Structures are given as C-alpha cells and as structure tokens.
Amino acid sequence: MNTSSVSKSVKVLKQKFTQSLGLPFQELLPSSVIEEYLAELNIKYRQRLFDPICTLWAFLSQVLDVDKSCHNAVSRVISYLVDSGVQLPSTDTSAYCQARQRLPEQLIQKLFGKVAIGLESLVQEKHLWCGRKVKVIDGSTLSMPDTPGNQKEYPQPNSQKTGCGFPIAKIGALFSIATGAAVALVIDVFNTHDIKLARRLYEFLYPGDVLLGDRAFCAYADLFKIKNLDCDAVFRKHQSRKTQMRRGKIFGDCDKFVTWSKPKECPQGLSQEEFKSLPNTLIVREIYFYIVIPGFRTERVSLITTLLDTQAYSTLDITSLYGERWDVEVNLRHLKTTLGMDILRGKTPAIVRKEIWAFLLAYNLLRTLMWSAGNTYGASPLRLSLQGTRQLFDNFIPQLIAATATECHQIYSTLLKVLVHKEVPLRPARSEPRVRKRRPKSYPLMQEQRNYYHDNLKPA
C-alpha cells in the first residue's frame, strides 16, 4: 500500500471506529484526548494502517467480540475498508500483532482512568448512599498461556508440577457502587495477599468516599490509613477477632463502639516506620446481624466500620450497604465470564497486561452505555443486563458504521431505548446450589509434562 492509500485507509478506519465503538465514549473519551495522551507520552509513529489509534480501537473491538482471535480482528478491519475504494490490507495478522506490541501499556491505562473518572463525575446526589460515594474492593485471579515469559513474570502455584499448570496473575479491583464501573485495578503475582493489593488501591480513593469490602481487608492499620485519607470503611470483621457484645459502648440491640488496641508486633506488609506511626488505640463501630436463607445454616455476620455517627448512618443503612458488597463479585464475573477475561491470550507479560487494561476499558464502555440508557429512559443502570448490552451493541455496530451522521444518532437513540428492555429481575435472597449437571469428560488430569505423554503414547 502506498502512502496516500494508507492515509485514506487510516482516515476511513478512524471514522468508522468513532461512529461505532467510540460513540458511547464521545463525551468521556473524544479522539482529541487520545491524541493528547499520545503527545504527553511522547509517542511518535510512522504513517501506517495500524497506527496507535486504529490499533487501540481494533484491540477494543477484539476483546468485546466472542471470537477474540487476532485473525477475527484483522478480518473486521478489512470488512470496514471493503467499500472505501482503497487497496485492502493483507489478511496476515503480523502487522496487527506488531502494532499491539508497540502500543504503550500506559496509554490504555490512562484512557481507562480517564473514562472511569468521567463516568464517576456523572453520578448525582440521588445515586449516592447517605450522601456519600461508595467504592467496593475485591481480588481475583486470571490465567494465561503457558509460555516461558509468562511463567517468569506470573509463576504458576508451587503445588503444581512444572509444565502441568498455567501462569496466574492476581488482580485487585475497585468498583463504583453507583455506576458499576471499574475505577482502578492493580496486577501482581498469584501469591500476593489481597490486603497488599488493597494498599495500592487506596490512592484512588477521594475524600468522602466509603470503602466496602470483605473480611480480608479488615485490619487495624488499614482502618487507620483509610480514616487518614478522610474516607470511611465498612468491612466484615476478620475471623481471627472474637465478637463479644458485652464489651464496648452498646447503644442498640446489635450495635456498639469498641476500642481496638494496636498490634503488639508489626504485621507483615508494614514497614517499621508505618507501624510506629499507628495510634495506640482506635475506636470502631461493630454491628452484627443474622442471615437466614432457607436450606442454609443461619449465619451471624459482624461488621466493622469507621462510620461513628449513629444519627447519619443507622444500623439498617450500614447492614443494607454491606448487602451490596456482592455486586463486586457480579462485576468480576462479568469481566471474567461474560467478557472472557478469565483466560487471557497474550503470549508475553506485556501483552497480557495490555489485554487486561483493554478488557477494563471495554467493560466501562458497556457500563457507559447502560448508564446512558438507564438515565435516558428511567431505568436503573445497575439492573440492566451487561451480557444483553454487549449483544445488542455488537449487533448494532454494522448499522452504525453504514449510517450517515444524522442516521447514526437516530440508531444510537434506538439502541439506548432497546437496552432498557434487558432489565434483570430483582430477586432478593436468591440462592442456587453450587453443583454441575453436565458431566465433564472422563480424561485424567495432566500430572506430568507434555513430552512425557508423547514418549509413552501407546499405538492404536
């Protein structure tokens, strides 16, 4: 392809990506912002078909598609150019794969942060909990291809033999309760404790935020750190601490103030300077309640919070808020199962990390669509189906690409109107047994390296 043909192809691709994938982002992530970040990162590139902007949009469409192969991504680009009157590029994926390698990880990470902040800025007073923004935190794991580079950066569990497992990365994620969008994420090796990841996420909290999490994050030092950031926390009480309702200042049937003492020894993960800076005592609020679900044992849950104003934050308000902690599990399931981030495809650690950030950007794209649809047509954005949103969006993209500017906005309005029909029914206290009906294949598990099985194959 000559220079003029490449220039025309790039122009066509940018236009079609902007009026399809970029349409929900037109306010949060305009093309000018991408150009600004490229200049800020001092990224210089030659005139070629897969420049950073086209590569970014192709990457985003790749993770949104059910078929996440590079061949499918290149085929999509060719289909966009088929009626543009330019020479079509090769079907070989080499140019696109090299372009993904050149694409800076920082660029995707910055764009994700820009969209997360932009979406959070749309939250109004009616979407807040007791006038406060709430972030929910949790950790999870992701697997990737078994390559030497991936094994070195993100080694498999020590319990597995060499060659019998897959490299695994540990992630810590922060989500917004109001929008369901991902706000921040950190990546580390498999054996990293959740609380270590959490301490890297505290920098993404803003004064006035409330952090919601499970018992893994309920530590003396962390409650103090969060309070020092002018934020508050609501955590489930760690199992190592006993609940004694006779101690402390009791002001309700299941609510009291308790004075915690500083640990006698420095906990793992804290420096001596950080440990010395901790106060000798810390006043927290402890609330306990019972969960009764038919078919399950009645369970008592103890919550620890730094929200000490009993008038502004009642016992019922706090226990109801903790009930929304399950949303983070659903959000992670959407990322890993619905979008397919559970098993990554990158053969190198750099591509793996870029893939993770691309998935997060795609996830927030769908959350932006759900937010726009819900607020435009009077539905709760959090009750809309993310899978249904992705299916409709994917099916509307060919129509958006072929439309004129006027038709494009009409089609987009129709898309938002149809999205509110994908509302998930409200099913409180719904429970399903954790069993599988479909039987797995009766092949044995891999216990040795692959070449061992090749050497011992029996003739048919």
pLDDT reported for residue 451? 84
Position 245 pLDDT exceeds 60: no
Q: Is residue 361 part of a domain?
A: no
Tell me whether residue 296 is in a domain.
yes
Residue 344 lies in a domain: no
Is pLDDT at 284 greater than 70 in this prediction?
A: yes
CA 340 from centre of chain:
12
Residue 279: inside a domain, yes or no? yes
Looking up tokens 């490229």 gives 38
For residue 252, give every residue at least 6 positions away whose Cβ sits within 8 Å of its Cβ, in sequence order, or none. 310, 315
Is 387 part of any domain? no
Answer positive or negative: Cα dihedral of 395, 397, 402, 408.
positive
> Which pLDDT score, from 0 to 100, does residue 294 have?
61
β-sheet bridge partners, residue 140: 171
Q: Domains in the chain: how many in total? A: 1
pLDDT exceeds cutoff 80 at 434 = no
Provide mean pLDDT across the span 371-392: 92
Give me the count of residues in the chain: 460
> Which residues are 282's β-sheet partners?
260
Please identify which residue in the block is written with the tokens 């691309």.
358
Q: Which of 413, 419, 417, 430 shows the shortest CA–CA distance to 384?
A: 419
The arithmetic mean of pLDDT across residues 362-383, rounded, is 92
Q: What is the mean pLDDT of the chain?
A: 88
CA dihedral of 384, 14, 65, 41, whole degrees rounded to 10: -90
β-strand pairing of 249-250 with 232-236: unpaired
**Domain-embedded: residue 370:** no
Using left for φ > 0, alpha for ψ between -120 and 50, and beta otherwise, residue 138 falls in beta
Tell me if the pTM is above 0.85.
Answer: yes
Check residue 243 and give its pLDDT: 59
pLDDT confidence band for 433 (50 / 70 / 90): confident
Quick check: is 455 in a domain? Answer: no
- pLDDT at residue 296 in the model: 54
Residue-wise pLDDT for 188-233, tens only, equals 999 999 999 999 999 999 999 999 999 999 999 999 999 999 999 9
89-129 pLDDT tens trace = 889 999 999 999 999 999 999 999 999 999 999 999 999 99
**β-strands 134-143, 168-176 pairing:** antiparallel
Does the structure show a pLDDT above 90 at 344? yes
pLDDT at 244: 57
User: Is residue 393 assigned to a domain?
Assistant: no
pLDDT of 298 higher than 60:
no
Domain residues for 273? 231-313
20-76 pLDDT tens trace? 888 888 778 877 888 888 888 888 777 888 888 889 999 999 999 999 999 999 999
Q: What are the b/e assignments for 295-323, b being 16+ CB within 10 Å?
A: eeeeeebbbbbbbeeeeebebeebbebbe
